[in-house]
Structure 1
């Protein structure tokens, strides 16, 4: 998803302000150069957040999880420029999901855990996202049930995402991702509200 005009891209590339290297390129470089180096570490309170043990992954293991997840997302129908909504705490699967969705050609938009149906529904409607990935339960709230109620075509739980990431790497067709493609959509609480008439 490229939002800048070709004129502006050529202008800034010509001036040397913009380049062609992507975050995926940088990650691939680090993975190749330091496969055994620690790439990501869970927060120590992961068990309290999602009920599973905290982990750390090497670049090689993390990269394999990215590949496996990207391949499965493509198999499930994720296409270039599709937007994926995620509601996960800051755990290794969320970091991995940013890269996997980009690798599949999509755009990840991660939402705060405290957002509920009004905010998540607003994002779903505005983006047209069909895939929702969320914690199974966090702090007693059922995110997957909310996602289904909001009408997402596919709702993927954290447990399912982790299993995909740790599973076999399926066919991974080449997807063109340009340095000018949008990597993520970010939201701010308070400036993204919709106006409602008061009676």
Structure 2
């Protein structure tokens, strides 16, 4: 039994090799023309030969041309590909159902109020320097010209004002941790 199976496998392999050598180029050209994609055409030709291997009696029964049968199988496989694509919706990038969560407006209001209170605790000179540098976007030299003070004074006041603000927020943070909303 093993000998018969091996002979059958060798005969099938020889049949498929012969089909490919004789009809492979024509099948590939036909499939490429239909699909306009060489890689997809190669897949279709391979599937055509698999179908031929599964139905060897169709190829040797003497009814009709072998090439005609192979070309018909190729055309049917191409048609199946087009139908399958048409049946499936086109793939699109997934979009979230809702926009990403943005920070709470109330949190921004509270932060603004905290900054305003902290700025009120600074001396007018420190507050003016921070306003010119950070709120108005001026350089130290530009802020110095507007405020009528030396550039070094602007740098020094800016440094000390920021340090005071940091200290203020550090002191308030523990109190905020205990607050629940």
Q: Which has the higher helix share?
A: 2
TM-score, normalised relative to structure 1:
0.16
TM-score, normalised relative to structure 2:
0.17
Q: Which has the higher strand share?
A: 1
Task: Report the structure number with the largest CA radius of gyration.
Answer: 2
